[in-house]
Structure 1
Amino acid sequence: MADDRRTGRTGGRAPDRPGSPGGSDAYNAVAEVSAHRIRRAGDRAGGPLLTWPVSVAWRGVQLYTPLRALALSGPEPFRLYAAPTDPLPGDPALGTTILSGALPGRGGNSGVGDGEPWLNLARRSVRHQWFVHSFEWLPDLMAAADRDAAQELGVQLIRDWVARYPGPGADPQAWHPHATARRLIAWTAHAQLVQRAAARTPSPNALTAMARQARHLRLVYPRRGHLPARIVALSALLMAALTLDMPELKPRRLARHVAHLLDLFLHDDGGPISRQPAHAVGVLRILMLLRELHRARGLPQPAWIGERIRAVVSFLRGISLGDGSVARFNGGTAMSAAAVLHLLHQADPAAPVRVSAPATGFERLSAGGVTCVIDSGPPPPPDLSTRAGAGTLSFEMSDGDYPLVVNMGSASQHGLPEKLTSVARATAAHSTLVIDDTNSTRAEADGLRRGVESVGVRRAVSEAGTLLDLAHDGYRHRLGVVHERQLFLAGDGKRLVGADRLVGAGRNKLAIVDLRFHLHPRVGVRVSRDGLSADLSHPGGRAWRFRADGRVVKTEESLFIDADAGPVRTKQLVVRVAAPVPADALRWSLERIALPRDAGNA
Structure 2
Amino acid sequence: MPGGGSAHKRFRSGRGWYYGSAPYRLLSLRGPVPPGLSFVPPDPWPGDAHVGQELLNNVFHFAGQSFSAESPPWLAAEAGPAWLAELHGFDWLRHLRATGGDAARRQARVLVSAWLDQFGRGWHPVAWAPDVLGTRVAAWIGQHDFFLASADDELRARVFESLARQVRHLSRVTPGKLLGTTLTVALKGLAYGGLTLPGLSRAAEKARTALVRELPRQVLPDGGHAEHSPAQQLIVLRHLIDIRGCFRAARVEVPEALQHAIDRMTPTLRFFRHGDGGLALFNGAQEGEPVVIDTVLGQADARGRPLKSIPHVGFERLTAGRACVLLDAGPPPPPGLDEHAHAGTLSFEMSVGRERLIVNCGAHPAGVGPWRTALAATAAHSTVTVEDTNSSAVLPEGGLGRRPAKVESHRQDANNGGGLVDASHDGYRETHSLTHRRRLYLADTGEDLRGEDTLEGAGGKAFALRFHLHPGVQAVLDEEDARIAWLRLPSGNVWRLRATEALEIADSIYLGHGTDPAHTVQVVCRGVTAPGATTVKWALRREGNDGE
Residues 245-276 of structure 1: CA deviation (Å, up to 9, x unaligned): 34443423320112211222221111122212
Distance in 2 (CA, whole Å) between partners of 1:541 and 1:107 is 34
The answer to whether the 8 Å contact 1:198/1:205 transfers is no
Q: 1:546 maps to which residue? A: 497
Q: What does 1:521-532 align with in structure 2 at a 5 Å threshold?
A: 521-530=471-480, 531-532=482-483
1:66 to 23, 28, 32: 23
AA aligned to 1:447 is G
Taking the TM superposition and a 5 Å limit, the aligned residue runs for 1:562-573 are 562-564=512-514, 566-573=516-523
State which of 32, 39, 47 in structure 2 corresponds to 1:82: 39
Q: Distance in 1 between matches of 2:405 and 2:64?
A: 34
> In the alignment, which residue of structure 2 is the partner of 1:21?
none
Structure 2 CA distance for aligned equivalents of residues 97 and 497 of structure 1: 48
Out of 156, 170, 175, which is 2:110 matched to?
Answer: 156
Question: Is the contact made by 2:349 and 2:357 (CA closer than 8 Å) also made in structure 1?
Answer: yes
1:430 maps to a residue whose letter is H
Match of 2:244 among 286, 291, 294: 291
Q: 1:197 to 1:355 in 2, by over 3 A?
A: farther
1:526 Cα offset (Å) = 2.2
Q: How does 1:421-570 map to 2 (within 5 A)?
A: 421-445=372-396, 447-463=399-415, 465-504=418-457, 506=458, 508-510=459-461, 512-530=462-480, 531-549=482-500, 551-564=501-514, 566-570=516-520
- TM-score, normalised on structure 2? 0.89
Partners of 1:391 and 1:432 within 8 A in 2:
yes
**Aligned counterparts of 2:199 and 2:307: Cα–Cα separation in 1:** 39
* Residue type at the aligned position of 2:257: W
| Matched-pair contact (CA < 8 Å) for 1:159–1:197 | no
Deviation, 1:61, is 7.8
Distance 1:242 1:79 in 2: 12
Matching residue within 129, 135, 138 for 2:93: 138
C-alpha separation in 2, matches of 1:409 and 1:194: 36
8 Å Cα contact 1:87/1:288 also seen in 2 = no
Aligned residue number for residue 277 of structure 2: 324
Partner residue of 1:400? 353
Indicate whether 1:168 and 2:122 are aligned: yes
Question: How many residues of Structure 1 are paired with residues of Structure 2 in the alignment?
Answer: 531
Q: Deviations over 1:555-584 (max 9, x none)?
A: 111111122453111111111124548945
* SS, match of residue 239 in structure 2: helix
CA contact (8 A) 2:212 2:255 kept: no
CA distance in 1, matches of 2:18, 2:375: 45
How big is the shift at 1:74? 2.6
Which letter does structure 2 place at the counterpart of 1:167?
R
> Which 10-residue stretch deviates more, 62-71 or 206-215?
62-71
Q: Is 2:171 the counterpart of 1:218?
A: yes
Unaligned runs of 5+ in 2: 1-13
Q: Kindly report which structure 2 residues correspond to 1:272-421, keeping only aligned pairs within 5 A, or say none.
A: 272-333=225-286, 335-348=288-301, 350-411=303-364, 413=365, 415=366, 418-421=369-372
The 1:462–1:129 alpha-carbon spacing in structure 2 relative to 1, beyond 3 Å, is closer
Cα offset, 1:509, TM superposition: 2.5
d(CA) in 2 for partners of 1:200, 1:569: 53
Aligned residue for 1:444, secondary structure, equals coil
In the alignment, the residues of structure 2 paired with residue 215 and residue 502 of structure 1 have an alpha-carbon distance, to the nearest angstrom, of 55
Shift in Å, 1:452 = 1.0
Q: Does the C-alpha gap of structure 1 residues 187 and 333 become closer, same or farther in structure 2, counting only changes over 3 Å?
A: farther
* Closer/same/farther in 2, CA of residues 526 and 582 from structure 1, 3 Å limit: farther
Normalised to the residue count of structure 1, the TM-score between the two structures is 0.81
Match of 2:83 in 1: 128
SS in 2 for 1:547: strand
Instruction: Report which structure shows greater RCO (CA 8 Å, sep ≥6).
Output: 1
CA 1:64–1:410 in structure 2 vs 1: closer, same or farther (change >3 Å)? same
Give the match for residue 59 of structure 2. 102
- In the TM superposition, residue 315 of structure 1 has moved relative to its aligned partner by 1.2
SS at match of 1:484: strand
Aligned AA (1:190): Q
